[in-house]
Amino acid sequence: MDENKTIKLVDLTFVANTEFADPHDVLHAQQTSLAYIQYLDKDIFTTVIKHWLKRVSFVQKNVLYCFFPSGNHFFNIPFNTYLFLWKHKPDAVIVQGMDNPWQLLWLRLVLRKRTKIIVQHHGDKIWPHPKKLLQQWAGKLTDAWMFTSAENATPWMVNGMIRNTKQCYEVLEASAFMPQLPKSESRKKLGIASADMFLWVGRLNNNKDPLTVLKGFAGFLTGHPTASLYMIYQTEELLFAVKELLEKAPALKNAVHLIGQIPHAALADWYSASDFFISGSHSEGSGYALIEAMACGCIPIVTDIPSFRKITGDGQHGFLFTPGDADSLINVLSNTATINREEVSGNVVTHFQKELSFQKIGRDVSSMVKKIIHSR
């Protein structure tokens, strides 16, 4: 391919967003994974394909957006999408997620052999047999993969979806628009005066492991009784167990504040008001809340898992503890007492801007796409 020629790239999502009344609502809901497009190299012309209730297309900021009617049945075949792609003849197609291997197989049949298929990993899981066979088959027809951390590719290689490590690229799946606000103003707005404010944002489920976080925080409180932990959560699977644990530990109950669900727009004040962000996740494809927190200068205290290591720069911009290990968390929490918080917080924001921003994702995708299509 002529290296001076315009590259035709397609960002494709097979999932049908039928719950939205307007296609612009779909784009707004998914803006954190689409904003990178505005930072692609100028010689890359991008088309975004989504599935919805009706056929709609429009151009916005030099990007063509196409919506095709479709459903979410496992063996659904979006013929209109394939017909458009066959006529469009893209150089590369980024498929968002590996939860639609049947549709990806048809995509390979429709596209020219020279068109490269790239899969963006979104924390997708490997299915048990027999559906696993479709993932393996689709994986063998995929030219390249994007993971937040290359380590996340390991199970996909072990299970035969990825042929070799040269197919894998480290590219964040999303970034954040979250603005950093003045800490004093955010605390005043929220009515918080704690000298040591820790924040949890995530579901109350086994993977996020709030119980280990609470046990670790209880141990930390023995030497730091003025610390407080605010918990914002979207789901309540372990809420009963959380409350039961708090009832057994009066000091912990006084220090922990169960906020529950809040509007996403309100999170900027919570992140900006907090000194530290805590996550106990055992597995993550990326880490949206972590990235948002870092954009606001919130210092991470997160589990030592591949995606969090990548996001925090191998722990250089935060603290890492062993998943499921309350003692490991206690040790890490104790280390936070000796740092210059203002300096570390500033370094976290600088790291976000350099390595976790939409601009960085745009540069990484541009470089990867050009490398793949020019290496034919």
Q: Per-residue pLDDT tens for 29-79?
A: 999 999 999 999 999 999 999 999 999 999 999 999 999 999 999 999 999
With 0-12 / 13-18 / 19 or more C-beta atoms within 10 angstroms meaning exposed / middle / buried, residue 316 is: exposed
- Same domain for 197 and 85: no
Res 174 pLDDT > 60: yes
Q: Where does the pLDDT of residue 316 fall: very low under 50, low under 70, confident under 90, or very high at 90 and above? A: very high
Domain membership flag for residue 1: no
Is the pLDDT at 4 greater than 80? The verdict is no
Same domain, 190 and 171: no
Look up the domain containing 76 and give its range: 7-175+358-374
Supply the mean pLDDT for the chain.
95
Same domain, yes or no, for 156 and 13?
A: yes
Residues 6+ away with beta carbon under 8 Å from 15: 51, 72, 96, 97, 99, 100
Residue 2, in any domain of the structure: no
Q: Distance between CA 343 and CA 126 in Å, rounded?
A: 41
Average pLDDT value for residue range 130-137: 93
224 plus 316 within the same structural domain: yes
pLDDT given for residue 347 in this prediction: 98
User: Is residue 64 a part of any domain in this protein?
Assistant: yes
Q: Same structural domain for residues 318 and 205?
A: yes
Same domain, 363 and 251: no
- Supply the CATH number for residue 30's domain: 3.40.50.2000
Domain count for the chain, please give it.
2
What's residue 167's pLDDT?
Answer: 95
Predicted confidence at residue 375, as pLDDT, reads 79
Tokens of 3: 């290296």
Q: What is the pTM of this model?
A: 0.93
Q: In this predicted model, what pLDDT tens digit does every residue of 248-270 receive, in sequence order?
A: 999 999 999 999 999 999 999 99
Closest by Cα among 240, 150, 232, 227 to 196: 227
Average of per-residue pLDDT across 234-242: 96
